[in-house]
């Protein structure tokens, strides 16, 4: 198996942290998103969507989408469970992970891409319409969504030590990557969100956070 990766990009980092928590180390192929290598024919032959990460299996099957990759790995190696240990936990992890992804990762991407000069004509990630001009108004929408993300995260952490309960899961990985991504555009955890601040310090100290 090998992972098509981009070492600076937030979504590939979600997959790398997941693999590190499983203590798995895969061959990696670095693809330069900033330089547009992901939109060149060589990579589009690997993933026509032009998105990273992509997991390539030994039989040649290629899987894109972080959650699809993580589900595959979780089935291969169930321990430690990062997607929930039983039906109830799997449902809670799925629900909270999605919230962290939609209101966190995607909102941070909206703020970042609609204001960064490098992405002025690539305002959505990946391949498709050749030119996708940035929409500056979406920066404000992304900021509003991130404010909701921080509220939800603080609420989730009122119940338990981690985002989806008493164990570290994919919901924590996505929330951590979303917060670090939001930091690129100087959006940080609100000082009043003391549970989130303490959780952030704890999860950032895990060795996998360096992946």
Binding mask 54-93 for ligand GSH (x = CB under 6 A): ----------xxx---------------------------
Residue 142 CB burial class (10 angstroms; 0-12, 13-18, ≥19): buried
Select the residue interacting with ligand GSH from 17, 19, 51, 93 (CB under 6 A): 51
* Residue 20 to residue 189: CA distance in whole angstroms: 25
Nearer to ligand GSH, 14 or 22 (CB): 14
For 52, residues 6+ apart whose C-beta sits below 8 A from its C-beta are 4, 5, 6, 9, 11, 12, 31, 33, 38
- Does 165 interact with ligand GSH (rule: CB under 6 A)? no
> Residue 177, Cβ neighbours under 10 Å: how many?
26
- Does 52 interact with ligand GSH (rule: CB under 6 A)? yes
Indicate the SS3 state at residue 29. Answer: strand
- Does 142 interact with ligand GSH (rule: CB under 6 A)? no
Least Å from the CB of residue 179 to ligand GSH: 14
- Does 125 interact with ligand GSH (rule: CB under 6 A)? yes
Least Å from the CB of residue 194 to ligand GSH: 29
* Residue 164 to residue 92: CA distance in whole angstroms: 6
Closest CA to 12 of 20, 118, 77: 20
* Residue 29 to residue 126: CA distance in whole angstroms: 17
Size of the site for ligand GSH (CB under 6 A): 14
> Residue 159, Cβ neighbours under 10 Å: how many?
13
- Does 104 interact with ligand GSH (rule: CB under 6 A)? no
* Residue 184 to residue 21: CA distance in whole angstroms: 24
Nearer to ligand GSH, 132 or 161 (CB): 132
Stretch of 47-55, 149-157, 158-166, 199-207 contacting ligand GSH, by CB under 6 A = 47-55
- Does 50 interact with ligand GSH (rule: CB under 6 A)? yes
Select the residue interacting with ligand GSH from 3, 5, 10, 142 (CB under 6 A): 10
Structural tokens at position 63: 């899987």
- Does 47 interact with ligand GSH (rule: CB under 6 A)? no
- Site residues (vs ligand GSH, CB under 6 A): 9-11, 33, 38, 50-52, 64-66, 122, 125-126
């Amino acid at each position: 198996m090998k992972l098509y990766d981009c070492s600076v990009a937030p979504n590939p980092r979600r997959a790398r942290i997941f693999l590190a928590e499983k203590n798995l180390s895969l061959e990696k192929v670095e693809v330069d998103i900033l330089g547009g290598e992901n939109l060149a024919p060589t990579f589009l032959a690997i993933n026509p969507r032009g998105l990273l990460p992509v997991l390539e299996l030994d039989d040649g099957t290629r899987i894109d989408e972080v959650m699809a990759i993580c589900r595959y790995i979780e089935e291969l190696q169930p321990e430690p469970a990062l997607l929930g240990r039983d039906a109830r936990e799997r449902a809670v992890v799925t629900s909270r992970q999605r919230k962290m992804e939609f209101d966190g990762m995607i909102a941070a991407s909206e703020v970042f891409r609609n204001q960064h000069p490098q992405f002025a004509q690539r305002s959505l990630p990946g391949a498709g319409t050749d030119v996708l001009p940035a929409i500056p108004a979406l920066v404000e929408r992304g900021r509003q969504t991130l404010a909701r993300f921080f509220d939800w995260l603080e609420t989730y952490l009122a119940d338990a030590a981690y985002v989806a309960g008493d164990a570290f899961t994919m919901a924590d990985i996505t929330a951590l990557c979303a917060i670090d991504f939001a930091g690129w555009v100087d959006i940080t955890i609100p000082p009043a969100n003391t549970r989130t601040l303490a959780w952030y310090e704890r999860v950032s100290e895990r060795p996998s956070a360096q992946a």
